[in-house]
Amino acid sequence: MIQAIKETNFQFPGQISKYRGKVRDVYNINEDFLVIVSSDRISAFDHILPRAIPYKGQVLNKTSEYFFKKVEEMVPTHVLAIPDPNVTIGLKCDPYPIEVVVRGYLAGHAWRVYKSGLREICGVALAEGLKEGDRLPEPIITPATKSKIGHDEDISEREILKFGLIEAAEWAEMKHYALQLFKAGTECAEKQGLILVDTKYEFGNYEDKIYVIDEIHTPDSSRYYYLDGYEARQQAGEPQKQLSKEFVREWLMANGFQGLQGQQMPNMPDEFVNKVTDRYIALYEQLTGSSFAKESYLQIQERIMDHVVPVLADLKKII
């Protein structure tokens, strides 16, 4: 198997702390910047899987770079520099405790809720008679709480405001940004023969200004269908062809794991790990229209340090 990045342990100039997320290792530089290293870890059902996926971190970082550049005049982004295929340097924003999930189609978690018999998700009513993969009349926002441990939980707009998790004016601005981003992502996907089914955005505040942070429109944060044949498959009641992480969740469920207490997480065989890598690279190439360059894993620690340290020095001169 090709080497993969399961964890990093850098000591950058000015570093005062490190946070290990599900996928990213985040380094706090003097409370001014974050050096965000995209590892090859993969999570599903809010659990980190034992096997890392070669090149996954590069795919996530490069996909986000592609979209951050496209929306930078539309929505403030936290990105200051992308000095390495696995690294983004961003403003150290104060993150909001809510993920803004936008859905244009009934799929994934929303479909599982609907299939269970419920006709409302996060306070948003859904019509009767819908099928998996059906397009919704208009995109809906179904927020979720951000959990460091365990499952993220659905939450309604009414609950967000009632419990004071986010101020009303800030929430309105975040929703506006999220819908703008979703529209832009939808248009980009359609040009490349894909449908942006649903996605999630995260936001943070820096000096009283809201920024989109983390990642946008990646295979980890988004679900894509192939546009060609979509209508025919829906009419025939066939599963949609998709490029997303959903097939990993489906494999886990087929092997008896859905993140529930007492369930044993299965170990992915080499063949399936390679398949996941291929899926991530295929989505990047179709979505961006560019070939994916596999950066070497040899001396990757040195490579990242060599790329990041000079950029940090330049950024510190600005502050």
pLDDT in tens, 6-58: 999 999 999 999 999 999 999 999 999 999 999 999 998 888 999 999 999 99
Q: In the prediction, which pLDDT does 318 show?
A: 65
| 8 Å CB contact between 53 and 42 | yes
DSSP for residue 203: E
Give, for 197, the enclosing helix (H) or strand (E).
strand 194-206
Rounded-to-5 percentages of helix, strand, coil across the chain: 35, 25, 40
Q: Note the pLDDT of residue 149.
A: 45
Say if residues 187 and 85 touch (Cβ distance below 8 Å).
Answer: no
Residue stretches of the chain with pLDDT short of 50: 149-150
Q: What is the DSSP string of 102-118?
A: EEEES-HHHHHHHHTT-
| Nearest-angstrom CA–CA distance, 224 and 265 | 26
Please give the helix or strand (H or E) that residue 98 lies within, else none.
strand 98-105
* Structure token digits, residue 178: 């999220």
pTM of the model: 0.91
Please report the pLDDT score of residue 316 as a whole number. 80
User: Would you state the pLDDT for residue 54?
Assistant: 96
